[in-house]
Amino acid sequence: MTQPRTYRAVGLTLRKRLAGEADVIATMLTREHGKLDVLARGARRLTSKLMGHFEPLTLLRVAVARGRALDVISEAEVITAFQSVKTGYQTTARALYVAELVDGFSAESNANPALFDLTLQTLNAIAEQPMSDLPLRHFDLRLLDLSGFLPELYCCIDCGAELEPERHRYAAGAGGTLCPDCAPPDTLIRPLSLPALKVLRLLHRTAQPAGLPSLNIPAAVQNEVHSALSATLQYWLDRPVQSQRFLDATKSA
């Protein structure tokens, strides 16, 4: 069946790059079509109706014409610019972290409505809880789940035995938790405390960031959870998460 020459979508701009004298190429996550690279002609001209529409972390309603190399934006309407997460360094850093990971784990032109919804829910959670990292850790785990890389948190990934309290470790490259008796070769294994495992399981059981309980998690446990998830994300992404440096810098400032 021949594809229609134009289509409509709701999309979040993840990043942009400049093209030509006045054009913008935007990478967007859309609900209907997955991740897309689209060309916004003249979007950098002060007189353009598209001026400023394709800044990262802007939610748009767009009309798009199919092109040979890139599809071309014909209309764009801003739904929200998420200004509440762009007003401070820490919230901006958190939101850019989300955008980078979504970009890295999303497949071109492969719709994933659940990931689209998770991304918007996480941005709203960042706005509502600007100093909390728990929504980010929830996002990390749910992103892995929706991408098909959910780590095992209940059984040993090597022998299959159900984990016993205080008898568990974690191996990002092997796929999750291990019992003390198993050690897959050529695998980096890290300790995993019972409180950290409980937090990871809580994140797994929570469908949306808005459903996360208010918890006073010790810093050491937060760091442990972050370390395990960060190692898993980097393993599957096959590169460091660049925005993590910016995020770390905002916390130490």
Q: What is the pLDDT of residues 86-145, one digit of tens each?
A: 988 999 999 999 999 999 999 888 899 999 999 999 999 999 999 899 999 999 999 999
CA 253/CA 248 separation, integer angstroms: 9
Mean pLDDT over 80-86 rounds to: 95
Strands 176-178, 169-171: parallel, antiparallel or unpaired by DSSP?
antiparallel
Of 116-120, 182-186, 241-245, which has the strongest mean pLDDT? 116-120
* 97 and 75 together in one domain: no
Strands 176-178, 190-191: parallel, antiparallel or unpaired by DSSP?
unpaired
Q: What is the overall mean pLDDT for the chain?
A: 94
Q: What CATH number did the domain enclosing 186 receive?
A: 1.20.1440.120
* 214 and 238 together in one domain: yes
- What pLDDT does residue 49 have? 93
Is residue 155 one of the residues assigned to a domain? Answer: yes
* 199 and 136 together in one domain: yes
CA 172/CA 188 separation, integer angstroms: 7
Report the Cα 56 to chain-centroid distance in Å: 14
* 68 and 117 together in one domain: no
Q: With beta carbons less than 8 A apart as the criterion, state whether 119 and 12 touch.
A: yes
Q: What is the pLDDT of residues 49-73, one digit of tens each?
A: 999 999 999 999 999 999 988 999 9
Is residue 131 one of the residues assigned to a domain? Answer: yes
CA 79/CA 9 separation, integer angstroms: 12
How far are the Cα atoms of 156, 166, 183, 186, 208 from residue 161, in angstroms, in the given order? 5, 14, 14, 21, 29
How far are the Cα atoms of 118, 181, 232 from residue 206, in angstroms, in the given order? 12, 30, 19
Q: What is the pLDDT of residues 139-174, one digit of tens each?
A: 999 999 999 999 999 999 999 999 999 999 999 999
Is residue 133 one of the residues assigned to a domain? Answer: yes
* 128 and 231 together in one domain: yes
pTM greater than the 0.75 cutoff: yes
**pLDDT band of 251, cuts 50, 70, 90:** confident
* 60 and 103 together in one domain: no
Mean pLDDT over 187-207 rounds to: 96
**H-only helix segments in 113-178:** 113-128, 134-146
Q: With beta carbons less than 8 A apart as the criterion, state whether 204 and 126 touch.
A: no
Least confident of 43-47, 150-154, 243-247: 243-247
Number of domains within the chain:
2
Mean pLDDT over 175-194 rounds to: 95
Q: Last residue of some domain: 39, 55, 81?
A: 81
Q: What are phi and psi of 162, to 5 degrees?
A: -65, 140
Is residue 230 one of the residues assigned to a domain? Answer: yes
Residue 1 pLDDT more than 60?
no
* 94 and 60 together in one domain: no
Question: What single-letter DSSP state applies at residue 86?
Answer: S
CA 171/CA 188 separation, integer angstroms: 6
Q: What CATH number did the domain enclosing 60 receive?
A: 2.40.50.140
* 93 and 132 together in one domain: yes
Q: Last residue of some domain: 22, 49, 81?
A: 81
Residue numbers of the domain that contains 52: 6-81
* 75 and 114 together in one domain: no
* 52 and 89 together in one domain: no
Is residue 47 one of the residues assigned to a domain? Answer: yes
How far are the Cα atoms of 72, 75, 158, 164, 224 from residue 178, in angstroms, in the given order? 49, 52, 7, 10, 16
Residue 25 pLDDT more than 60?
yes
Mean pLDDT over 217-225 rounds to: 96
* 96 and 74 together in one domain: no
Q: With beta carbons less than 8 A apart as the criterion, state whether 170 and 179 touch.
A: no
Is residue 104 one of the residues assigned to a domain? Answer: yes
Q: Last residue of some domain: 55, 81, 107?
A: 81
